[in-house]
Amino acid sequence: MKFSNYIILIPALALLAGSTMPGCKPGKAGSSVDADAAQKVYVAPGKYDEIYTFMSGGFSGQVAAYGIPSGRLLKVIPVFSQNPENGYGYSEETKPMLNTSHGFVAWDDSHHPELSKTNGEDDGRWLFINGNNTPRIARIDLTTFKTTEIIELPNIGGNHASPFCTENTEYVVGNTRFSQPLDNAGNDVPIDSYKKNFKGAVSFVKVDKETGGMKLAFQLIVPAFNYDLAHAGKGPSHDWMFFTCYNTEQANTLLEVNASQRDKDFVMAINWKKAEELILAGKGTKIPVKYAHNVYSDKTHSATSTIEKETQILDVTKFPGLVYYMPCPKSPHGVDVTPDGESIVASGKLAAVIPVFSYKKMLDAIAKKAYDGMIDGNLPVLKYEAVLRGEVKKPGLGPLHTEFDDKGFAYTTMFVSSEVVKWKVDNLEIIDRAPVFYSPGHLSIPGGDSKKPYGKYVIVMDKITKDRYLPTGPELSQAAQLFDISGNKMKLLLDFPTIGEPHYAQSIPAEKIVKNQVKFFKLADNKNAYAVKSEKETKVVRTGKRVDVYMTAMRSHLAPDNIEGIQVGDDVYIHITNLEQDWDVPHGFAIKGANNAELLIMPGETSTLKWNPYQQGIVPFYCTDFCSALHQEMQGYFRVSPAGSKVPIKFSIGVNPVTQ
Ligand code: K7E
Ligand code: CUA
């Protein structure tokens, strides 16, 4: 790096760190809130919210579900991180969900929730989300709000441009943020051999129409850039997927400077339909890899983890017509496709305009070979002017993400100038701008990336809150801000704090989800190997050093509740079946001193806590969830004897010590 370059770039880059720029802080928030704002977000006690918003937890690795317009937090759904609140990742049944080719990885960084789509519309069946750090895609079942599948992605590092659904959820797609050598290549290579040895890989994960089951169908090997975000085409552009790339300089150090050299980076357009045809025609190359595929069953209430050993790749440089590049100013982040599928909006973090590309013009440019050079020998770069529909002029500083409403408007976040800009999709004219507090990342309009936006609200997720809430020490909450977008002018209604860092959220009218809710699991259908269907069947079984406790929970006792014959050094597995068959009656289970978390067992479900008693004594256990008036009575004792003790296994419930 030349030092002079560094000096020149500093001002532009410093701008990106919006928080450090006092000049970026807009005027007082209070003045911009209308008197009727409170009424618009007030959801009376006993009434449901109109919208579900699913926010990524960022570095919490989870997803949070909120009600809109109230901003009420409804549930944290554990995905990539263990969750002591309900034993996810701690119970024997859910541990396999967090298995990877690297072993048990109980954390990740989740950025992009993506609702499944049918005919380009959110269908409310599943929510996909990426694990960025140890590349994974998870699927949450929206009938149970549980994570039911996680698939790891081989050959990539940083699953950031992920997961984005094609129009009918034929695939969820993920692309690498950090290009790297393929897993099976000799990857002990010098880091500065980046240009020679590193590659990007786009993963196409096939989604079963009925079950949602995921399968890594194929990966496209693409040039070694950083891939940031993506969106699928829809309607006319159904066959295509668009990805932003930055670091087209192919730097492998100090990217802050070295990946900001060029005036333009690219939007990469992939004809996925054509790639699929090539794969079906047997053009893929099978290569050995290692990745975990974890599936949770609502019948066994258990997850299994399988390590897969193979994937198919297609090197896009060998198949002309698969990939084209559209030049895009400068270090683009978000790429969004208009509801009609005709325009592609890309946001250059360092750009002074928002370019809007035309799908039709892209096809023309391809037909006419309006090229402006090649990448990696034979991947055409299309001429900027040939593919451009127009530019949104002077939008503000640091455009990041765009969503669309139901009335032909687009809304773009400006990270550096801390505002949302509303513009008209057909003539690219700016209609309105609203300050946000502060440094917005993504924004979410219900249905805002679909063919049929619902509109009405935009939820903006801010990175910096500074003076917005009561302070909480050095770390302040991130914030969501709710705007009414039903009129010409955006109206700020509400601020609410969020869990972790919600990079992105997707929002959907509540009725699409409410009608499919599972209220409890049928006990008769419970296929867990350790389930017991009545208290009569409860038992404690010793097999060498292993002890299996088959326990039941119901209001207001755990059966058995007196257990003796446990020994120091045993592996004790407590399998608890919740016998309730009613909505909203989970029971909890916790053991004093267990190096584990609690369990929270749903009605009809079986969960298992593993416990290794390490000292003799009397150890209480109890239900943690206040389930009835006699919840405080829902308790029991283990007696732990020294290893090799003669105390026999004994278990009981209901012997009253007073009458003994
Ligand atoms: Cu935060 Cu989508 Cu990871 Cu933009 S990304 S802000
Ligand atoms: Cu069951 Cu408290």
Looking at per-residue confidence, does 303 or 476 come out higher? 303
Looking at the fold, whether 158 and 85 belong to one and the same domain comes out as yes
Looking at the fold, whether 533 and 468 belong to one and the same domain comes out as no
Average pLDDT, integer, range 442-462: 98
Q: What's residue 355's pLDDT?
A: 97
Does 264 sit in the ligand 1 pocket, CB within 6 Å?
no
Question: Rounded to the nearest whole angstrom, what is the distance from the C-alpha of residue 485 to the centroid of ligand 1?
Answer: 22
Q: Is residue 8 part of a domain?
A: no
Average pLDDT, integer, range 262-273: 94
The answer to whether 129 and 114 are in contact (CB under 8 A) is: yes
Determine the distance from the C-alpha atom of residue 555 to the mean position of all C-alpha atoms in its chain, rounded to a whole number: 36
Average pLDDT, integer, range 351-377: 96
Q: What's residue 260's pLDDT?
A: 79
Question: Rounded to the nearest whole angstrom, what is the distance from the C-alpha of residue 173 to the centroid of ligand 2?
Answer: 42
Tell me which ligand sits closest to the C-alpha of residue 442: 1
Q: Which atom of ligand 1 is nearest to 440's Cα?
A: 6
Residue 24 pLDDT class (50, 70, 90 cuts): very low
Looking at the fold, whether 470 and 550 belong to one and the same domain comes out as no
- Distance set, CA 463 to CA 205, 226, 414, 497, 575 (Å): 31, 22, 12, 11, 43
Residue 375 pLDDT class (50, 70, 90 cuts): very high
Average pLDDT, integer, range 623-637: 96
Q: Is residue 1 part of a domain?
A: no
Q: How many CB atoms lie within 10 A of CB 605?
A: 23
Looking at the fold, whether 565 and 447 belong to one and the same domain comes out as no
> Per-residue pLDDT for 34 more than 90?
no
φ/ψ (deg, to 5) at 25: -80, 115
Q: What's residue 427's pLDDT?
A: 98
The answer to whether 111 and 137 are in contact (CB under 8 A) is: no
Q: Is residue 212 part of a domain?
A: yes
Average pLDDT, integer, range 539-553: 98
Q: What's residue 256's pLDDT?
A: 84
Q: What H or E segment, with its residue span, contains residue 460? A: strand 457-462
Tell me which ligand sits closest to the C-alpha of residue 636: 2
Residue tagged 């690297």 (tokens): 102
Nearest to 56 by CA among 600, 448, 479, 505: 505
Q: What's residue 349's pLDDT?
A: 87
Question: Rounded to the nearest whole angstrom, what is the distance from the C-alpha of residue 587 to the centroid of ligand 2?
Answer: 5
Looking at the fold, whether 364 and 326 belong to one and the same domain comes out as yes
Q: What's residue 528's pLDDT?
A: 98
Looking at per-residue confidence, does 260 or 339 come out higher? 339
The residues lining ligand 2, judged by C-beta closer than 6 Å to any ligand atom, are 553, 587, 623, 625-627, 631, 634
Q: Is residue 394 part of a domain?
A: no
> Per-residue pLDDT for 225 more than 80?
yes
Nearest alpha carbon, ligand 1 atom 3? 111
pLDDT tens figures, 280-312: 999 999 999 999 999 999 999 999 999 999 999
pLDDT tens figures, 144-196: 999 999 999 999 999 999 999 999 999 999 999 999 999 887 778 999 999 99
**What's the first-to-final CA gap in the chain, in angstroms?**
85
CATH number, domain at 71? 2.130.10.10
Question: Rounded to the nearest whole angstrom, what is the distance from the C-alpha of residue 360 to the centroid of ligand 2?
Answer: 61
Nearest alpha carbon, ligand 1 atom 1? 503
Task: Show which of 469, 491, 514 is a domain's final residue.
Answer: 514
Looking at the fold, whether 433 and 550 belong to one and the same domain comes out as no
> In sequence order, which ranges of 219-348 are alpha helices (DSSP H)?
255-258, 272-280
Task: Note down the domain range covering 539.
Answer: 529-652
Q: Which atom of ligand 1 is nearest to 501's Cα?
A: 1
Q: Is residue 26 part of a domain?
A: no
> Per-residue pLDDT for 28 more than 90?
no
Count the domains in the chain.
2
Q: Is residue 393 part of a domain?
A: no
User: How confident is the prediction for the chain on average, in pLDDT?
Assistant: 93
Task: Show which of 514, 545, 565 is a domain's final residue.
Answer: 514
- What does R_g of the chain's alpha carbons equal in angstroms? 27
Question: Rounded to the nearest whole angstrom, what is the distance from the C-alpha of residue 130 to the centroid of ligand 2?
Answer: 35
Q: What's residue 659's pLDDT?
A: 53
Q: What H or E segment, with its residue span, contains residue 640? A: strand 635-641
Q: What's residue 3's pLDDT?
A: 37
Residue 500 pLDDT class (50, 70, 90 cuts): confident
Looking at per-residue confidence, does 645 or 257 come out higher? 645
Q: Is residue 520 part of a domain?
A: no
CATH number, domain at 548? 2.60.40.420
Looking at the fold, whether 488 and 614 belong to one and the same domain comes out as no
How would DSSP label each residue in 476-525? PPPEEEEEE-SSSS-EEEEEEE-SS----EEEEETHHHHTT---S--GGG
Q: What's residue 16's pLDDT?
A: 45
Instruction: Give Dmax (Cα) for the chain.
Output: 95
Q: Please, which residues bridge with residue 136 across strands?
A: 131, 152
Q: Is residue 13 part of a domain?
A: no
